[in-house]
Amino acid sequence: MKSICCLTLTCLIFLSSLCTAQNNVNGKGQPYGHWMYDKATYGVTEEGDYKIMSLLQYDSARLEQEEGSYTGRLAVKYKASRADITTYNYDGDSLSVNDGIWNQYDTATGKLMLTTEYYNGIVLGRKEYGAEGGLVKYTYTNYEADSSIYLTYMDNHVFRKEFYPPGTGTNKVTQYYPDHPLHIANAEPELNVNFLSRPLVNFNTKLIADTEVTITNFISNGDIDILNKKNQPVSLPLTLRKGKPYDITIQYKPKPSTYNFYDTIAITTTGSQFTYKIICSAWAAHIDRNNVTTLQNVKVSKSKDRYFFIKGCGSVTNFSISDEDGRVSNYAAMGGRVTAVDLNEYQPGAYTIDVTMGDCETEGSGINLKIVE
């Protein structure tokens, strides 16, 4: 388990002179008691307690501290697990560690951003908060089972739970809505569409109920349909029996004029005020790495399509659109993302597209683009 380093003691000592008397350092240069200080570089204010401990407190495996550094790392055994502790000014068998609850606040707004809970320097868990104040992530370690757990929240409910089986650190298990009667095998599907060569994609997942659950509605935009295993629209209401998985297919056929990277499917159930959600990330483009080298002609409509999309590959994809008079418009798709070209910026006519996907060593040149009204 990796330790997360705090400020070096040099910074702590310097900042203590700017703060109140609560920021105490003993004769060995070890911080203790309650501290509050600004970490201007990160735009946060942090506060919490330091505790001076004896090394004999721990079942220690090793202590690492670079020469000239005020911080070190102590690897310890804790219950059935191991933990890394950040220490400050180790001296003899004495060291200073974080203890109790540490909070980070946004300097500009004063809102709570992060809470970390320590026990004698050992990180028990961390909670991250969103701009509206709600909990968005909670990470903690079950030291008795030697397992780390990662929870992601949506609408104040656990949306995703990730954990590693005890003692392995590998083979991550992911569960969606673990605290609710209805579970979704994969509530974060990635959908990949090419408007020209693959305009429709199907994604299969399962719904599993702990108790009998009746689904009253699937709510999505017009680009998504929910189908049963016979490839027919799901008949509603749909009653799921306890422990019996129900297969569904998410069929996605976006239109360039309405395409968004994220599409949400909302699932409502009888007698519940809670709404389940499937968050779809959708990659849709006219040109991507799969057709850029073979594509010769593209025809798009200003009124029907509205946009022309290119999905980049690698860190930067550069492409240009040239008209018949030699005027060139240059674009870049960064980090493999989708870049939209607004067709309202062009008059109907014939154009030429040249694409270079640098990191992927893939390019297309002289692609004919016809824009119609």
pLDDT digits (tens, 9 = 90+) for 311-357: 999 889 999 999 999 999 999 888 889 999 999 999 999 999 999 99
Residue 28 vs residue 175, higher pLDDT: 175
Q: List the one residue out of 353, 255, 352 whose CA is nearest residue 301.
A: 255
What does the pLDDT read at residue 21? Answer: 64
| Same domain (yes/no): 159, 57 | yes
Number of compact structural domains in the chain: 3
| Same domain (yes/no): 341, 199 | no
Query: Is 3 part of a structural domain of the chain?
Result: no
Which residue, of 262, 284, 306, is where some domain finishes?
A: 284
How large is the greatest C-alpha to C-alpha distance in the chain, in angstroms?
A: 80
Domain that holds residue 190: 183-284
What does the pLDDT read at residue 6? Answer: 37
8 A C-beta contact, residue 32 and residue 96 = yes
Q: List the one residue out of 271, 229, 275 whose CA is nearest residue 250.
A: 229
If one counts every other C-beta atom within 10 angstroms of the C-beta of residue 189, the result is 20
Distance CA 186, CA 174 (A): 9
Average pLDDT (19-36) is 86
Residue 92 CA: distances (Å) to CA of 14, 87, 98, 251, 310: 24, 13, 18, 65, 62
101, pLDDT greater than 80: yes
> What CATH number has the domain bearing residue 256?
2.60.40.10
Among 16-30, 77-91, 273-287, the minimum mean pLDDT is found in 16-30
Which residue, of 176, 197, 231, is where some domain finishes?
A: 176
Query: Is 27 part of a structural domain of the chain?
Result: yes
| Same domain (yes/no): 57, 38 | yes
| Same domain (yes/no): 37, 142 | yes
Distance CA 319, CA 332 (A): 6
Residue 206 CA: distances (Å) to CA of 91, 129, 235, 336: 57, 30, 16, 29
pLDDT tens, residue by residue, 156-212:
999 999 998 776 667 889 999 999 999 999 999 999 999 999 999 999 999 999 999
Query: Is 63 part of a structural domain of the chain?
Result: yes
Which residue, of 127, 161, 176, is where some domain finishes?
A: 176
Can you say whether the dihedral through the CA atoms of 153, 155, 157, 159 is positive or negative? negative
15, pLDDT greater than 60: no
Query: Is 289 part of a structural domain of the chain?
Result: no
297, pLDDT greater than 50: yes
| Same domain (yes/no): 197, 310 | no
Amino acid at 329: S
CA angle 138, 142, 148 (to 5 degrees): 60
| Same domain (yes/no): 115, 189 | no
Residue 245 CA: distances (Å) to CA of 51, 184, 212, 278, 280: 51, 10, 12, 17, 21
